[in-house]
Structure formats: C-alpha cells, structure tokens
Amino acid sequence: MTYQEEFIHFMVRSGVLTFGDFMTKSGRKTPYFVNTGNYKTGAQAARLGDYYAACIQQHMPQGITALFGPAYKGIPLVVTAAASLYRNYGRDLPYCFNRKEVKDHGEGGDMVGYKPQDGDDIAIVEDVVTAGTAVRESIELFRRVADVNIRALFVSVDRMERGTRACTTLDELRQDYGIQVYPIVTIREIIRCLHNKPVDGKVYLDDAMRERMEEYLKIYGAE
C-alpha cells in the first residue's frame, strides 16, 4: 500500500474524511467532507506529520529553507511535518507560523519561530484549500516580513474543484504566484482507493456514493 492509500484509510479511521450531506463555506452541497479539526490525539498528529513529510520528501527533497504554517490549522501541521522530516529523513528544517494579531509587546512581530530572511525558500503547509484565502494572505504577509521565495504549497487533499475561474483553486495559486502545489492525495485518488473497498470491514464509498461524487464533480470539478 502506498503512503497515499495509507493516508486515505487514516483519514477515514480518524473521522476526518466522511460521506453524507454537507455544506461548504462557499454554499456548495457536497457528498463528502474533510474536517482536519477531527484530529485530536498525539498518535494521529505524529502519523499526520509522517504523511506530510513523505509528500515533502517526494516532491522537494531539497531546496527548502523553512516551513510555514498559516494560523490556525497550519500551526500544528507545520510543527508535526517538521518533526517528522527530522525523525524520518534527517532533515532539520526550521519552521514558523503567523499570529492572527500582531504582538505589540515582548519580541513583537507577525511571526513565531524561525525569522524568515531575504532570499529564503519557503514551503507552506496547509490542510485543505477551498478558496485559497489563507494562502494568499500568507503570501502577502511575507512581503512585509522578508523578500522570500514561496517555493511550494503542501496540502492534505486536493478537492479538484473550480475556484473563481475555470481552473481549480490550486491551479489559480500556481498561476497567480508561480508556486508549486502538492497535495498528499486528490479526490480522484480517494474515489479509486475507497470505491467498494472496505476499511475495517465497512464500505464507505459504494456505487451510490460514487455516483453522487461524480455528479458533484461534473458541476463543480475542474480537471
């Protein structure tokens, strides 16, 4: 089993990837939902970091100065990814994350952890990008902090849905900022992995659910 397939099973077992009737922030009625807020144990955090680290190591085995996690969900993600990169691959990358509000006492500033320097190559670690707002805000933030190169964005799932244009939100980020975007898995990989295949004896994605997901992607998807 590939690490991508293991990750899909991990999301299902963790109650992070669920199927049913949901409403996204954008008002779309979706038959599946990815809620990374359901990760809640140390064991889950450690394994989640391993999957992000595997994705980072696969696509960018070098060329990263530091990792950045956008507040709030990106904070635990960047910490566990950095720890796993060191533990599993011997890469001791510094990490940082932003404050939602600028601290005006103590050391002050926007950033916590590593202080980015001019010329740094930064990779952003996020959960699931829908509209890309947090990523765009992060890129604008860095323009106030240092003259860095945002090299890549790593996310857990690519929903492969249209953003504000005909292409996916992730493709919009690629086009607008010239950064590489790497999901651990895509929704198509999830369908292939789970369709009529049980996880711990239960089929979560049967023919009816697959049909609903395909219909959803016909309306909102962008290949």
How would you write 41-53 as a 3-class SS string?
A: CHHHHHHHHHHHH
Q: Where are the domains of the chain?
A: 3-220
Contact 123, 68 (CB under 8 A): yes
pLDDT per residue as tens digits for the range 159-216? 998 877 888 888 888 898 889 999 999 999 999 999 999 999 999 999 999 999 999 9
Q: Given 103, 115, 195, 202, which residue is catalytic? A: 103
Domain 3-220 class? alpha beta
pTM: predicted TM-score of the whole model, two decimal places? 0.92
Note the Cα 65 to chain centre separation in Å.
19
Q: Given 100, 105, 202, 218, which residue is catalytic? A: 105
Based on the residue annotation, tell me whether 9 is a catalytic residue of this protein.
no
What is the number of alpha carbons within 13 Å of residue 147 lying toward its C-beta? 2
Give yes or no for residue 104 having a pLDDT over 70. Answer: no
Bridge partner list, 66 = 122
Based on the residue annotation, tell me whether 103 is a catalytic residue of this protein.
yes
Give the helix, strand, coil percentages of the chain, each rounded to 5.
40, 25, 30
pLDDT per residue as tens digits for the range 9-44? 999 999 999 999 998 877 889 999 999 889 999 999
Give yes or no for residue 59 having a pLDDT over 70. Answer: yes
